[in-house]
Amino acid sequence: MKESNPATEPIGQNLIKLISNLCFSVFVFSVLIITVIAITYQPPDPWLESAPALTKLFTESENATFKNDNSILKTGEDLLAPAVPPASEDRITEAVIEKSEANIINSTPPQLNCEDLERVNCSDPRALIAVERFNLRLFKSIVFLEYQTPVNGSKPDECDVLWRFRNKKEKSWRKYRDFRRFKLGFGVNCTYKVVHARGWHSGINARRPRRISNSTRGAKIAPSVRDEQINDTIPSLGSDMNFRKGKYLYYSRGGDYCKGMNQYQWSFLCGLGEAMYLNRTFVMDLSVCLAGSYTPSNKDEEGKDFRYYFDFEHLKESASIVEEVEFLRDWKKWDRSHKRKVPVKKVASHKITPMQLKKEKSTVIWRQFDGAEPENYWYRVCEGQAAKYVQRPWHALWKSKRLMNIVTEISGRMDWDFDAVHVVRGEKAQNKDLWPHLDYDTSPDMLLEKVKRMVQPWRNLYIATNEPFYNYFDKLRSQYKVHLLDDYKELWSNTSEWYNETRILNDGRPVEFDGYMRVEVDTEVLYRAKTRVETFYNLTGDCKDGINTC
């Protein structure tokens, strides 16, 4: 019988122990790595995108300078997930109509017969029910919120009806209005029916009367009409004590001034986000410098009003802000009338983080951006470690309701039934190094060939583009009802509501409908299309940000 060699046993046991220890060490190390990741992981930005993803979406930075084509400009409402309708929203649905109809039947005298309905009576609730049913069938992309009682049109069988609505593709809950003229007749069982409906804003008798001020009487400009849903008033701090009790974050102008609007948004929301993190009121400069890329002269233009471009009312509701002129006036007033000056903490560098200022008790934290570019950009405050603590409040920044009224008017004139193509040309088409095929792929002939594959002929086709030549898209007109932004110039002409309302903001001086406004409107009409054809990935194989960036 062969004896075992005792010398080999310790070696085998030691090998097993070594392997066991090694496996245990790997396990412990893995647990440690997972624990560290769990502790340091930052969840995505609550508005759909993480901070790095939004940085890439809004900007492509190179040496801290933003570069993009500005052909699509998003704001907070474009990033929001579809929200739950407000509890107070009453929607006109088929069930609501049936309930109204049942109430009418129960309250109608039994002796009523069809001979009593020989003439159209616009105030008869049955007439409104016919219009409501007709609209529900025709406008599938609209949520109807409320109707006014119909009024007489220009003929005995016509009724003008006004209603408020919102578009299902708009993620905000703002209301818009339309008023149309309907020709009514009678169907079975003495019911009203819509024989014919005219187009957008045709029911002029249902529109509320215009208020004409003395200053506009006899002038060839629009009478004074205001959208009652717009509140652009600047909030006031009130008494001296209210000012002294407040806590403020004040940003001096930096290198972002007169940069592109994407950089403006990225920087502005950094400051607003820091104010929210510090639980302070953000001191806001309403004066915007428009970069030359949006102006006909290609020169920067100062003195633009924030309210031309963004929804100031929504911003006031979403964040604690105070307008800069109001703030500085109250600050100076306090210092003049009190021996004890307002406590101020001046911060000279973006390298002093929001976390370091969290316990600061001074009434005013004053960030000063006096260095050279790119050190003086506002958004530098939110870089690095600060990005884990300061969240940009995208939900607070929406496009101007005045511009959205123009978007709604354009979409409504196409009866909400249109397709759209986004054609990026401009400087990109001329840069053959980065976009070698873009010019050819967006040429008139190629556009027609590619759009034909995606859009049925003779549809309403809206073209959102930075191409400056109006007739460039004439080839598409042979097979489509082509619409361009310039087809709707009267919506911002001196006979328009937009002209009148922006003129009030500008101390009575006319406001130019500039390049940034054009892109905002183009973007939003594009979003409302039933079929959307994009330049990149639909029209051309070139990458959106140049070669090798797909």
| CA–CA distance, 401 with 312 (Å, rounded to integer) | 9
| CA–CA distance, 414 with 64 (Å, rounded to integer) | 42
| CA–CA distance, 325 with 331 (Å, rounded to integer) | 10
How many of the other CB atoms lie within 10 Å of CB of 268?
25
- Per the CB < 8 A criterion, the answer to whether 504 and 230 are in contact is no
Please determine, for residue 514, whether its predicted confidence score (pLDDT) is greater than 90: yes
Please determine, for residue 262, whether its predicted confidence score (pLDDT) is greater than 70: yes
Task: Determine what percent of the chain is predicted with pLDDT higher than 90.
Answer: 63
Pick the closest to residue 415 from 117, 180, 160 (CA basis). Answer: 180
Specify the range with the lowest mean pLDDT, choosing from 162-166, 206-210, 533-537.
206-210
Mean pLDDT of 485-498: 96
Reported as a single tens digit per residue, the pLDDT across 453-488 is 999 999 999 999 999 999 999 999 999 999 999 999
Reported as a single tens digit per residue, the pLDDT across 47-98 is 334 444 444 444 443 334 455 556 677 888 877 665 556 666 788 899 988 8
pLDDT of res. 31: 66
pLDDT of res. 366: 97
Please determine, for residue 45, whether its predicted confidence score (pLDDT) is greater than 50: no
CA atoms within 13 A on the CB side of 220: 1
pLDDT of res. 4: 47
Mean pLDDT of 242-251: 90
Mean pLDDT of 534-548: 90
CA atoms within 13 A on the CB side of 155: 7
More confident residue, 450 or 67: 450
Tokens encoding 162: 């006004």
As a whole number of Å, the CA-based R_g of the chain is 31
Please determine, for residue 447, whether its predicted confidence score (pLDDT) is greater than 70: yes
| CA–CA distance, 544 with 537 (Å, rounded to integer) | 9
Angle at 77 between CA 75 and CA 78, to 5 degrees: 70
| CA–CA distance, 258 with 261 (Å, rounded to integer) | 9
**What 3-state class would DSSP assign to 286?**
coil
Pick the closest to residue 527 from 170, 138, 140 (CA basis). Answer: 170
Reported as a single tens digit per residue, the pLDDT across 353-406 is 999 999 999 999 999 999 899 999 999 999 999 999 999 999 999 999 999 999
pLDDT of res. 329: 92
| CA–CA distance, 471 with 440 (Å, rounded to integer) | 17
| CA–CA distance, 349 with 380 (Å, rounded to integer) | 10
pLDDT of res. 219: 43
Pick the closest to residue 447 from 534, 526, 546 (CA basis). Answer: 534
Q: Is the peptide bond before 436 cis (omega within 30 degrees of 0)?
A: no
